[in-house]
Structure formats: structure tokens, C-alpha cells
Amino acid sequence: MRNKSALIIYILILVSIAGSVNFYTLKTLSGLRAAMTGESMYSKGEKDATLYLLAYIQTRQAEYDHLFRDAIDVPVSDNIARTALMNGYSEDTIKKYFIEGKNNPKDVEDMIWAFDKVFRYNLADEALRAWTSADTILERLLEIHRAADDNTELSADQTASLIYNLSATSAELSEKEALFSENLNQLARRLKSLLLLADIILGSVFVAIIALYIGTYLRRIKESEANIRKSVDIIENQNQRLRNFAYIVSHNIRSYAASMLTGAYLYSESETEAERAEVISDIKNASLRFSDTIDNLEKIISENATSESLKEDIRPRLYVEKCVDILWHEISMHYGKVINNVPADLQINFNPAYMESIMLNLISNAIKYRFKGRPPVITIDVSETEKSLLIYVQDNGTGINLQANGGKLFGMYQTFNGNADARGLGLFITKYQVNAMGGDITAESTLGEGTIFKLILPKGKG
């Protein structure tokens, strides 16, 4: 190519194409990101509403009714915005309800753009069906509230029935929310791959043209590509840490919330000052433990955090005791027992938030998947090899068919026991947390007898 004017024209065409592809793809990805962020607010509003409605059903206190109404406004507003969007309402109306659904006003325009393009061209049918079907489930939650509101005095059977329906409805909503998010995630990944492919193709043509005239551009382009790959790796690592953080928040902090809510209920039912003082003491202790958990979570999402920087010297026995305190209501309700054989002076170099999450997940799973008619017994033991510290968490629950499911035991969204509230994330996140600290986790199980999870952790630092 000898004509420099032609070269400039080719470059301008390529730049124009690349700019258009990147602009509209990033605009769509921005909208999908905002939608997933909005879904988290929808999910939080639904879960908060469920907790407040549960408290209202049990205590009949008007304060919880008001809190329920405030919390449910978030998913209801989001639902109205989506309905308005799908039915061609004015953009001002759609924006109004998206904002009332706690979506960031700066993101709403991109959200509307993304949904318009995605759903118009049938690029996310599964996500749309999950979102639409959540409407009827959300209405069931409102019906439960109306049923509780219409009856000033509920019998024990009515209360139990409402609580059961509330739990089932909340679990189904959570499932639809997870399906919606995963489908949008898959779409975002596909768009990202297409964008990367388009950029590579256009970049290759650009490099080929420039290489005919300026050889030095090749070196600069390679440096640019290396920086892009490095940025992608950094973003992917941060995304993994954020997913891990989100699970700890949704699982561990929910356990704290349930524990504190139970404490509040017990306080209201206490008949003596001594009983109330004991409940207050338990709630204060839970608050202190909750504060420690928040401090540890802040370290996980720090921009400068690395796997090694997240480690510190901790005593595993204290984290087992902490998890038992958090789960005391579930343990006592099922006449369970936790045998903590971890030596009090044993110290390891590990991430505190991960240790709490691992123990809380394994112990709560042992209670959740207990053998019917048999009180759960969870035993935590320790042994050592030359290079590793081994922590065993053994239960006497239903067990897992490892011959059929062993290969996917620690996979994402894998469930094996048929529980309605199982999401298939706990063991996946647990394995990630152990691996991130340089360790590994395995399982042995016999159906009807129980399961032993073995944590293989490196000794010392590094």
C-alpha cells in the first residue's frame, strides 16, 4: 500500500468500526452490570422483607410490619419498572420505578438500553422467563403478608402454615433471582468474548496495515495487549474475590441475623430479669463477633489484598466455638451436639474470614442434612503430617453418594439431597477458600451414616 491517503482512510474506517463495536457492547455490558446490581438490591429487599414478615408473624409488632412494607417496596418497584419497560411505557415512568427499586440513577439509562436490545432480539429468554415468573412468587409473598394482616390473632397452626409458606416462597424467589443473574452473567461473558474477538480481528488488520509502514508500532501494540491481559487477570481475580465476598455476606451474615432475631424473640418471651439479662448478653456477644466478621470482610475486598496478605495467625478452635455460638438455635432445636477436639493452643496462618466461612458452612450443612430421627453429632478433629495440618469435620447425617456425585461434589450449583433451600454454592465457595490459602479439601461419605470432610492445610507461613 503506497498511497498514504488510502492508509489514513483504512485506519479511520477501522477506528470507526472498533469504536462503534466497543461503545455499544460496553453500553450493553454496563446495562447488564447495572441490572445484576439491581437484582442484588431486589434480592436484598426480598430477603429483608422475608425476615421482617417472619418477625411480624411471630411477634405481631407493628414496627416489623412497617419494616416489611419498606423492604418489599424495592422488589415491587423493580417489578413495576420491568412491566412498564416490556409494555412500552414512557421512559420517565420506567426510570422512576427503577430508581424507587434502589437502582443507581446513573445506571438506569444503560439498563433500559440493555434490556431493550437484549429482550428485543431474544438474547436472554431464560433470564426474562425467570424474571417474569418471579412476579407471581412475589405476589405470594404479599398474599402471606395480607393473610397475616387480616388475622389479628393467629393460631399456632396458622402461624406455622404462614411461616412454612413464607420459607418456601422466599426459597423459590431466591432460585429465580439466582437463575436471572446467572443467565445475564452468561450473556455478559458471551458479549465479552465477542467483543474480545472483534477487537482481536480489527486489531490484527490494523497491525498488518501499520506494519507495512511503521515497524515500531508492532512493539507498542504487543505492550498494549500485555497490559490488557494483565488488566483482565486483575479484574477476574477481583471478581472472584467479590463473588466469594458476596457468598460470605449472604450466608454468614444471614446466620448472624437469624441468631440476633431469635435472641430478640427470646427476649420478648422472657419472663424474668435474669432471663432477659442472659439474652442481652448473648446478643452483645453476637454483635462483637459480627463486628470481627465485618473487619475481616473489609480486608477481602481491599484493592491491595493478596492471598498471602489476607493470612494471619489464628486459633481454629475459637472459630469452631464462634460458629457453634452462631448456630446454637439450630443445634439445640434438633438436639444436636458439636464435639470440638481442636487443641486450644493450635495456631495456623490462615484468613480469619475464610476459616469462619468454612467452619460455618460445614457445620450448618451437617445440621441441614441431618439423618431424620437422629440428633446431629458433629465432631471436629485434628491430625498432622510432616507438611500439612489436617482438620476433620465429621457428621452422622444422610451422607452423599460419592460414586454418583463425587466428581461434582465441589462444583457450582451442584445439589444432591433435594432440599428446597439448597443453592449448590457452599462447597464450591469452601473449596475456593481452602485452595486460595494453599490447601485442599476432600470428602468421604456413606449413605445413611454420614460424611467426613478433610481440610488439608499447609503448615507455617507461605
How distant is the alpha carbon of residue 116 from its chain centre?
27
Residue 63: φ, ψ to 5°: -60, -45
Residues of the chain above pLDDT 70, percent: 64
Please give the pLDDT value at position 138.
75
- Between CA 264 and CA 266 the distance in angstroms is 5
At the top level of CATH, which class does the domain 306-458 belong to? alpha beta
Torsional class of 442: left (φ above 0), alpha (ψ -120 to 50), beta (otherwise): beta
Q: Is the pLDDT assigned to residue 115 strictly greater than 80? A: no
Please give the pLDDT value at position 191.
67
Neighbours of 230 (CB within 10 A): 10
Average pLDDT, the chain: 75
CA dihedral sign of residues 111, 116, 118, 119: positive
Whose cell is 446490581? That residue is 37
Which CA distances in Å does 233 have to 55, 219, 297, 428? 44, 21, 22, 21
Which CA distances in Å does 111 have to 125, 151, 456? 17, 41, 45
Tens digit of pLDDT for each residue in 20-58? Answer: 767 767 777 776 776 667 667 777 777 787 888 788 788
Q: Which three cell numbers stand for residue 401?
A: 453418594
Tens digit of pLDDT for each residue in 235-281? Answer: 666 666 656 656 566 556 666 666 666 666 666 766 787 767 766 76
Q: Is the pLDDT assigned to residue 283 strictly greater than 80? A: no
- Between CA 450 and CA 456 the distance in angstroms is 20
Please give the pLDDT value at position 422.
47
Q: Is the pLDDT assigned to residue 174 strictly greater than 50? A: yes
Residues of the chain above pLDDT 90, percent: 15
3-state secondary structure of 252: helix
Which CA distances in Å does 253 have to 250, 292, 294, 432, 446? 6, 12, 9, 19, 31
Q: Is the pLDDT assigned to residue 391 strictly greater than 80? A: yes
Is residue 115 within 8 Å of residue 127, measured between CB atoms? no
Q: Where are the alpha helices (DSSP H) in 151-215?
A: 156-211
Segment 85-99 shows an average pLDDT of 80
Which CA distances in Å does 26 have to 91, 99, 142, 256? 21, 22, 37, 38
H or E stretch at 444: strand 440-446
3-state secondary structure of 313: strand
Whose cell is 504487543? That residue is 222
pLDDT band of 110, cuts 50, 70, 90: confident
Whose cell is 439423618? That residue is 371
Q: Is the pLDDT assigned to residue 301 strictly greater than 60? A: no
Residue 350: φ, ψ to 5°: -155, 165
pTM: 0.43
Please give the pLDDT value at position 51.
82
Q: Is the pLDDT assigned to residue 382 strictly greater than 70? A: yes
Q: Which three cell numbers stand for residue 324?
A: 457453634
Q: Is the pLDDT assigned to residue 157 strictly greater than 50? A: yes
3-state secondary structure of 388: strand
Which CA distances in Å does 28 have to 89, 91, 124, 178? 21, 17, 13, 20
Out of 32-36, 334-338, 436-440, least confident range: 32-36
Domain boundaries, given as residue ranges, for the chain: 4-214, 306-458
Q: What is the DSSP letter of 122?
A: T
CB-facing half-sphere around the CA of 243: CA atoms within 13 A: 18
- Between CA 160 and CA 107 the distance in angstroms is 41
